[in-house]
A = this chain, B = another copy of it.
Amino acid sequence: MRRVTINDIARECHTSKATVSYVINGRYNKVSEEMVEKVQRAIKELGYVPSLNAKSLAGRGSNLIGVIIPQMDVSEKLIFDNPFYSEFLSGIEYYLRKAGYGVVLSVVTRDNRFEELVKKWNLDGAVVFGIDNDSMLKRLGDYKFPVLLIDSYITSPDYYRMNICDEEACYEATKYLLRGKGRTALVTGQIGKSKLLEQRALGYRRALEEAGEEFDESLIFQGDITFEYGQAAAMQILKRGDVGQILATADILARGVINCLQSSGKKIPEEYSVMGFDDTYQSRNMYPRLTTVGQNISDRGEMAGRLILKIINHEKVEKENYMDCHIIEGDTT
C-alpha cells in the first residue's frame, strides 16, 4: 500500500492541496464548512498522516527535539548505567509527546557530532546534558539554534540553562551530615572535569569550614560516577579508619559505598552515615532507604520539555532556571 499523501485527499475530495492543507491546519475561515467536513472524513478514511519530512522541508520545523548526552571520555555506550538520565528522559519524552514533538535520543562522542546531528535531522531544538564549555555548541551559536543546557556551568551568558543549586544543596547536605561520628568524606566524580562537581565540592567545603572542621583534600575521593567506584572509594575510606560520614555526589556512588561497607560487615547508619544525591527511583527502593538530596528528576525532565518548547517558540524564558532540591531523610544517616 502506497503512502497516503495530501494529493490523495485532494483528489478524493475533488479539491486542491491548498484546501486540504487549510483544513489540516485549522484555517477554517478559508474553506467552506461542507468542504471541511468532507476533507476531514477523507483524512480519517484513508488514514492520512502528514509527513513531517515534507513539512520540515517546507520550512515549518521538524517537530523533532534532540536529547543529547555527551560522553567524551568513558565508554561510548551504556548511557543509562546512571538512572538519572533515564528518569530525566522519561519526563522529557512525556511532555514532548503530549505536545506533538518527537524525541531523538543520541549520545554524542565527539565535538562536531552535535552539530551534525542538528543538521542531519533538522532538529527544532535540543536538550543537552552537562556541557561546561561551548566548543561543542559555538558553531550553532550563529544559527541561534534553540538549546537548553541541563546542569551546565558554562560561563557564556548566551545559553538557556536549567540547573539546581548544586553548591547550596551540597552545603546543606554536608551540614545535615555533620554529626560527629568522625570525619566527613566526599565521594564524587572527577571534579576537574565537571563544574557541577566543582560546585558540589565547594558546598561541601563551605559547610565544613563553617562548622570549624578542617578541610582535608585527602577526604575527597574522585573517580568514575559508577557503582564500582563507590565501592572502591569506600574501601579506601575503610582503610583510613577516621571517617564517620560520607557524602556521595550521586546515588549510584552512594549505593556502591553502602554495598562495600555492608559487605565488610559495617553497620549503617550506626558506624557510618551515608548520603547520596539525586533520589533516583532505584535508590528510593533500596534497603536501607537511602538518605539523599532529592531533585525531582522526572519533574525536571518535564520542565525541560516545557522550556525547550518555549525557547523554540520565542516565548519569554529566563536564561537561568533553577529548580529546588531538598534533603530526603532515609535510614542511612
Contact = CB atoms under 8 A, between A and B. Distances in A.
A120 B77 contact: no
A107 B115 contact: no
A204 B198 CA distance: 51
Nearest to A88: B80
A78 B49 CA distance: 27
Interface string A18-56: 000000000000000000000000000001011111101
Contact of A106 (B103, B115, B227): B103
A247 B89 CA distance: 31
B107 A142 contact: no
Given A53-B53, A116-B49, A263-B287, A107 B93 contact: yes
Contact of A94 (B77, B104, B115): B77
Interface stretch (A9-17, A174-182, A251-259, A307-315): A251-259
B52 A3 contact: no
Nearest to A51: B122
Contacts of A53: 53-54, 56-57, 62, 121-122
A163 interface: no
A134 to B, nearest CB: 16
A238 interface: no
B90 A79 contact: yes
Report whether over half of chain A's contact residues are helix, strand or loop; otherwise say mixed. helix
A106 B93 contact: yes
A104 B67 CA distance: 10
Contact of A52 (B91, B120, B252, B281): B120
Nearest to A56: B53
A223 interface: no
Interface string A102-139: 11111100000001110111100000000000000001
Output the residue of A1, A54, A77 with the most chain B CB within 10 A: A77
Contacts of A116: 49
Contacts of A324: none
A282 interface: yes
A286 interface: yes
B287 A262 contact: yes
A87 interface: yes
A89 B94 contact: no
A216 interface: no
A101 B143 CA distance: 24
21 contacts: A3-B119, A47-B119, A49-B116, A77-B90, A77-B94, A78-B298, A79-B90, A80-B80, A81-B281, A83-B282, A86-B89, A93-B105, A97-B106, A102-B104, A102-B106, A103-B105, A103-B106, A104-B104, A105-B105, A259-B286, A259-B287
Given A51-B120, A77-B94, A255-B285, 15 more contacts: A47-B115, A47-B119, A51-B119, A52-B121, A64-B121, A77-B298, A78-B298, A80-B83, A80-B87, A83-B83, A93-B105, A259-B285, A259-B287, A262-B287, A263-B287
